[in-house]
Structure 1
Amino acid sequence: MNSHLPVGRMAERLESLPREHAWFAILVAVTALSWANHAYPSAGLLPLYVPIICAAGWALGERAAYFVALLTAILAIVPHLDDGGVSASLAVRTGVRVATYLFVAATIVSFRRSFDRQRHLALRDRKTGALNGETFNERFSEALTVASRASETLLLAIFDLDDFKGVNSAHGHAAGDAVLRTFARGAAGSIRREDAFGRIGGDEFAVLLRVHPADAGEMFARTLHSRVSAVLAAGEHPVTCSMGALVIPPHVPRDPAALMHAADQAMFVAKRAGKNACEITWADQPQRDGREQASGPLREQPA
């Protein structure tokens, strides 16, 4: 949604609120409007329930939208109950009000689903489902800032599929695409949901995750390389991969471009060492020897 428009800015603020805060704000707004409508029934305040329903659908989801729609529809007709009880006219007005508010709720929920779907696609590589390069870089920059404040250690790993061009040349681009998707599924399945996984080039991928303690970074890197290597070896067109891993302690300078370059250089060291290798280095120790190949058995997946 266009954040330059007032509605877009309001939607962003609603989305940034914790769920309990959003509920509190919506219930306060419903209560205040209900009181005003009861005190001044001829003021024409009923349309103001519509943006509250929209806010509930946008910030809290489908069930909340329908609940608020029904609640506000009931509150909208309460002042008229003092006019002489239930009548056919009041029943019709109640039915119209309920149908209208439910329609508003259904519309905003449908729009939110479409918005989320399009936003998801905009952040993803269409071929593999991984984050696209631009989004991964943004997540990396954000993670560096958060990790620095929280004194957390990060692990950045860059993968390059060995001899991938040979698969395209020998079996066609459809086979190459299948290899990319196989790798992406294996890598995404080997990390946690909160970790970042992106496609940053043709056959280059990157993973970013938090590690604790810091010394666990090297073990996680070797384990990750072992897992994705096993997935690639079991594919229809087996290939290997070279990985450069960079352990980033919280005290090192937070320069995303420089850190990406360091991880990329580690990957090229693995390539030059004979491929199908894992080169591990530390951001604060550029000369650290990390030339260990991940040829051992699979280990426990990082928690």
Structure 2
Amino acid sequence: MTTTPSTESPVQRRRGQASHQKAGIAFGAPFFLGFVFVFVLPIAYALYQSFFRVEAAGGLGLGGTDTVFAGFENYIKAFGDDGFWASMLRVAVFALIQIPISLGLSLGAALLLDSVNSERRSSGLRTALLVPYMVPAVVASLIWVYLYSPRVGPLTAVGKVFGLDVNFFGSSLLWISIGNLIVWMVLGFNMLILYSSLRSVDRSTLEAARVDGAGALRIAWSIKIPAIRGTLVLAGLISIIGMLQIFNEPLLFRAASPETVTKDFTPIMAIYFQAFTSNNYNYAAALSVVLAVVVGLLSFGFYKLTTRKETS
């Protein structure tokens, strides 16, 4: 079989490559511009603001305020802020419990869907599990605040039927209530990611395992789960980043139980109240930078730990 030699000259080939590059840049430009304006510039501005402080002008503080350069003063204050670091520890302990439960349930749902032979039935189950994720976070939180309400919520009434006086906003059940809400919201999203990865597993390998006498549980544990380990790591990274930024759920729970959910209950809440209640934007910017660094370090450490286990 003979091939026809290309009739393009080197100059024409270079022009064609340049044209393809320009087309790629044109298609990617809207995303990169949005990324710069939505992420890069706000981060750079927060970093800039964190090196300043606002102080009263004049001896008696009657001459307005001045913004002066503070150096690392806000960061020194942040590292000594016991309330902020207590909120970080509080959320970290919660994440150690909640993330494995959430990923385990999502993995179980994905494996169950992957074992369904009927595509029509599988599509219906995927849609049902994905509906809670499509509900906006604030709306979902409001729904569950209503369900947990001791006055109008049905869950408290059901508990009383069985002789149980349950306070979902109490200190003993608050994290369970928030965790249940988060699992309800993210289960469908993680399930969809894991299910998509499961569908790429070689079907011939699964059939060979069945011929050899392996059952469904053995196939799932020895073939399917190891095959999607990278996707599990990705879902874990997303969960870690999202967990340390938890804000909507506890903020709405605070309206129902302000004595339990304090202003610095989570790191984001501490930053929010510093910025919009105490009007200390510069210190809030420093706390935001510290939180971003902590999230980055934890995500990097989790990724290195999981990939090291995978390659060893």
- Fold in common (TM above 0.5): no
Structure 1 length-normalised TM? 0.23
Structure 2 length-normalised TM? 0.23
More helix by share: 2
Higher relative contact order (CA 8 A, sep 6+): 2
